[in-house]
């Protein structure tokens, strides 16, 4: 039987737009309570506020976002805003060129912020930018690294503003000291986008592209999509690695899984348990909660979240809207307490009179269930 959720809500005006103030989704052992929206940063300087990523280290939460219009630019100025009290207040803001962190990690007391685009150098090398902080984000030092092309692929060369591959979510420090993450882009003579793993063994100076997670051959005319983009990945409750990806605006997300630590990946499939409409459409982020439930945030239209009580995504059994209104659909989540998520998102899109980065706390009372593949 299909699950039916009780929805209680009240609407208020925030940032000049009608928003959901308090929602309660309740169905047996699944209860989700969404708190009020609160301001993180509102545009009052003619610059934009959009496409946020969010990261947490102790009680320090970092939200990185674009302040320029949605375009391919070199050395665009973007922002990082910081909360030192687990998301309650946001008092520090830093702006720099090449400062849009699409991934962050901490290693041996040093914070690393990896910048989203790469810059072309040759068919085999691309420049990337990362920043380091030894004082938990109070000050930052700009660093330059190199991404090396895999043996069986070439980069696009020196043409264009950005390079072939873009860094995305999910950098993780591994037991062997390496840092592994995920990228997407297109290689030389390939029109469609590819998702691949990436690894550094020297803390960002050199990056090697490894296993291909998902790609669509140029000759494949059965899939009318630009390829696989905006990946997020996580190690799930049963030890498998799950990658969720965008295929296009207003099309459903897809997922791929690896049971051998990322060496090989299954063919991408629609998210099991969700309808195509419920799983639309961009910038997913996975988060395995401490209680074993797997959370997924994404958007466009509106903003949405889905949950898999099995902690693995073999079946997605809960989905809901977290925001209704004009937005890019790009969101980020961190767990700020047991069973409690901080959602960070934006209001407005390029050209809007007023744009904002906002947050809301979401309490997740979902009982984990046994894993059934």
Please list the residues that pair with 193 across neighbouring strands. Answer: 227
Task: Give the tens place of pLDDT for each residue, 104-118.
Answer: 999 999 999 999 999
CA angle 220, 226, 227 (to 5 degrees): 75
| Cα(329)–Cα(298) distance, integer angstroms | 6
Q: Give the model's confidence band at 219: pLDDT under 50 very low, under 70 low, under 90 confident, else very high.
A: low
Q: Which residues contact 9 (CB under 8 A, 6 or more apart)?
A: 20, 21, 22, 23
Contacts of residue 11, defined as CB under 8 A and 6 or more positions apart, other chains included, come to: 18, 19, 20, 21
As a whole number of angstroms, the distance between CA 357 and CA 78 comes to 13
- CA distance readout (Å), 131 to 104, 142, 198, 233: 9, 5, 18, 22
β-pairing, 206-214 vs 141-148, is parallel
Q: Check pLDDT > 80 for residue 2.
A: no
Average pLDDT of span 110-127: 97
Task: Note the pLDDT tens digit of each residue in 296-315.
Answer: 999 999 999 999 999 999 99
How much is the average pLDDT of 30-49? 92
Q: How confident is the model at residue 22 (pLDDT cuts 50, 70, 90)?
A: low
Mean pLDDT of 169-188: 94
pLDDT, one tens digit per residue, over 45-102 is 889 999 999 999 999 999 999 999 888 999 999 999 999 999 999 989 999 999 999 9
Please report the pLDDT score of residue 366 as a whole number: 93
The pLDDT of residue 136: 98
Confidence of residue 283 (pLDDT cuts 50, 70, 90): very high
Position 221 scores a pLDDT of 60
Residue 30, pLDDT score: 82
The mean per-residue pLDDT over the stretch 134-138 comes to 98
The predicted model scores a pTM of 0.92
What is the pLDDT at residue 349? Answer: 78
SS3 358: strand
pLDDT of residue 370: 85
* Distance (Å, whole) CA 259 – CA 45: 48
The greatest distance separating any two alpha carbons of the chain, rounded to the nearest whole angstrom, comes to 57
For residues 48 and 15, which has the higher predicted lDDT (pLDDT)?
Answer: 48
* 286 Cβ contact list (under 8 Å, min separation 6): 170, 232, 233, 234, 242, 244, 294, 295, 296, 313
Taking all residues of the chain, what is their mean pLDDT, rounded to a whole number? 90
d(CA 301, CA 278): 10
Q: Is the pLDDT of residue 235 over 60?
A: yes
SS3 103: strand
Given a cut of 70, whether residue 220 has pLDDT beyond it is no
Is pLDDT of 21 > 70?
Answer: no
């Amino acid at each position: 039987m299909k699950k039916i959720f009780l929805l209680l809500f009240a609407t208020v005006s925030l940032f000049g737009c009608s928003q959901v103030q308090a929602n309660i989704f309740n169905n047996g052992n699944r209860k989700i309570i969404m708190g009020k929206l609160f301001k993180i940063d509102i545009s009052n300087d003619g610059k934009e506020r959009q496409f946020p990523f969010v990261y947490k280290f102790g009680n320090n939460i970092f939200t990185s976002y674009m302040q320029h219009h949605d375009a391919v630019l070199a050395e665009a100025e973007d922002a990082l805003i910081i909360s030192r009290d687990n998301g309650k207040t946001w008092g520090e803001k830093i702006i720099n060129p090449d400062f849009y962190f699409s991934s962050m990690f901490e290693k041996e007391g040093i914070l690393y912020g990896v910048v989203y685009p790469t810059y072309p150098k040759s068919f085999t090398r691309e420049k990337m930018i990362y920043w380091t902080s030894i004082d938990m984000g109070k000050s930052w030092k700009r660093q330059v690294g190199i991404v090396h092309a895999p043996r069986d692929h070439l980069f696009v060369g020196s043409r264009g503003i950005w390079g072939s591959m873009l860094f995305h979510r999910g950098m993780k420090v591994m037991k062997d000291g390496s840092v592994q993450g995920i990228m997407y882009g297109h290689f030389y003579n390939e029109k469609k986008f590819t998702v691949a793993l990436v690894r550094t063994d020297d803390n960002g100076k050199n990056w090697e592209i490894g296993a291909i997670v998902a790609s669509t051959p140029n000759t494949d005319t059965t899939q009318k999509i630009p390829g696989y983009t905006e990946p997020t990945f996580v190690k799930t409750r049963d030890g498998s690695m799950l990658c969720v990806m965008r295929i296009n605006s207003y099309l459903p997300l897809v997922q791929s899984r690896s049971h051998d630590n990322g060496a090989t990946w299954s063919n991408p499939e629609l998210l099991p348990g969700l309808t195509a409409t419920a799983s639309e459409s961009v910038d997913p982020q996975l988060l395995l909660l401490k209680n074993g439930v797997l959370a997924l945030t994404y958007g466009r239209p509106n903003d949405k979240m889905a949950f898999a009580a099995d902690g693995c995504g073999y079946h997605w059994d809960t989905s809901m809207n977290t925001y209704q209104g004009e937005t890019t659909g790009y969101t980020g989540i961190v767990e700020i307490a047991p069973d409690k998520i901080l959602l960070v998102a934006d209001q407005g899109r390029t050209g809007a009179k007023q744009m904002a980065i906002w947050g809301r706390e979401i309490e997740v009372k979902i009982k984990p269930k046994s894993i059934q593949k």
